Copies of this chain bind each other. A is one copy, B any other.
Amino acid sequence: MSYIKKYIDDNKDRFLDELFGLIRIPSISSLSEHKPDMVKCAEYWRDQMLKAGADKAEVMPTDGHPVVYGEKIIDPKAPTVLVYAHYDVMPVDPIEEWKSQPFEPVIRDGKIFARGADDDKGQGFMHAKAFELMVKTKTLPCNVKFMIEGEEEMGSPNLGKWLDQHKEMLKADVILVSDTSLLGKDEPSITTGLRGLAYVEVEVTGPNRDLHSGLFGGAVANPANILAKMIASLHDENNHITIPGFYDDVLEVNPTERAEMNKAPFSLDEYKKALDIKEVWGEKGFTTLERVGIRPTLDVNGIWGGYIGEGAKTVLPSKASAKISMRLVPNQDHNKIAKLFQKHFEAIAPSYVKVKVTPLHGGQGYVAPTNTPAYQAASKAMEETFGKKPIPYRSGGSIPIISTFEEKLGLKSILMGFGLESDAIHSPNENYQLEMFFKGIETIPLFYKYFSEMAR
């Protein structure tokens, strides 16, 4: 047994105990009532870094929730790995669909069930434990810096400014992130592309108050019906998005690369079966893998208006609202897209309603090269622990901050995630496989080892 496996084996239970302590803090960044939990969670991370062997670690203020920064410098001339993770999590609605309490982690069928079990407490914490392992076994081959933020699930609105203020402190050779998924448990992969995101909230107002639907129905525009009509018009019959200019900056992917992409292990039948759907849906002319990998999309993330309680209420609502997000491909600018959306949505609003469009957050897409020492080191590390060379692939998800890192710090990121599609991140019953948690802790020291060798 290698020293890595032995250390993990000797400390397994404690690793889980410590992770569970982190998970138990309900650090939902988007709900203001959880502000005290955000500080508590940041302090927990700081204490863990110090315990693991950091030279220093501190909770640093931003204009929003704080960032935890820690470091261990073994030699100013050695390469430096900057680890990024986030300690904030998504809200837990719909709470009634959870089989156990979201902030009380339980292990069932070899999986940890809890909000944040994977995204990104489970995956982030692997780095704390891999770091401890390297320190305690005296095998840390390079310098390490940690920045653990608390606003990733809100689109990292304040991290850019913090990066600007601490460029010197954050100097490094590569950024290492575990916040993505593998193609499968036995299909190791490294994420080389991410979609950008433009997220807006829209509100359609009809009459100045809720009305009786009998006395006014049919004579006054119903904002819920109008909102439905406006949303419906955002896709044409081929499921293309109808916002003028929306596709202008999309770079077409050449046929060779598309063919390559479609070779990834993927079964449409299993996909449909896993989701219990009869048919997939999407933009005409593209495969399912292409639709999430290389095409921009538009989805309603939430819609509400009028009476939504038990039974029947005959109301013609005053307002109806929706949260709408667009996933963008590299070269589409999220600010430009949010503006195009706003302009279009206002333009299609009929005269009998008022509309308000509020951009909530956004981020640029990202593409990573595979010919760098960092990618090669990650590939080699994973090949060693999985017994199989990982596949580079473009994910449909977004981590807006990754492109900001490149812009502000001039650094590329290695997206070496250990999640699985079945982890239900952002959903009820989020979970993380114990096997993947420990596989991550095992793989990370190997990355450090090969990266230090190659980058010197």
Contact = CB atoms under 8 A, between A and B. Distances in A.
A107 interface: no
A188 interface: no
Q: Which 3 A-B pairs have the closest CB atoms?
A: A30-B311, A218-B297, A214-B397
A454 to B, nearest CB: 31
A49 B380 CA distance: 87
A320 interface: yes
Interface in A21-75: 29-32
A5 interface: no
A303 interface: yes
A181 interface: yes
Given A206-B277, A277-B352, A396-B216, A31 B228 contact: no
Interface in A296-316: 296-297, 299-316
Contacts of A331: none
- Which of A93, A197, A216 neighbours the largest number of chain B CB atoms within 10 Å of its CB? A216
Contacts of A227: 228, 303
B224 A235 contact: no
A361 B350 CA distance: 32
B425 A154 contact: no
A231 interface: yes
Contact of A224 (B300, B317, B421): B300
Number of copies: 2
A29 B312 CA distance: 10
Interface string A376-420: 000000000000000000011110000000000000000000000
B398 A214 contact: yes
A327 B213 CA distance: 8
Interface extent on A, as a size class? 35 or more
A232 B303 CA distance: 14
- Which of A213, A227, A229 neighbours the largest number of chain B CB atoms within 10 Å of its CB? A213
A309 to B, nearest CB: 6
Given A231-B225, A232-B228, A310-B30, A315 B301 contact: yes
Contacts of A253: none
Interface string A154-177: 110000000000000000000000
A424 interface: yes
A103 interface: no
Given A214-B327, A323-B306, A312 B31 contact: no
Contacts of A278: 351-352
A211 interface: yes
A130 to B, nearest CB: 25
A288 interface: yes
A211 B297 CA distance: 15
A275 interface: yes
Contact of A212 (B300, B308, B309, B426): B426
A283 interface: yes
Interface string A184-228: 000000000001010101000011111111111111111011011
A419 to B, nearest CB: 10
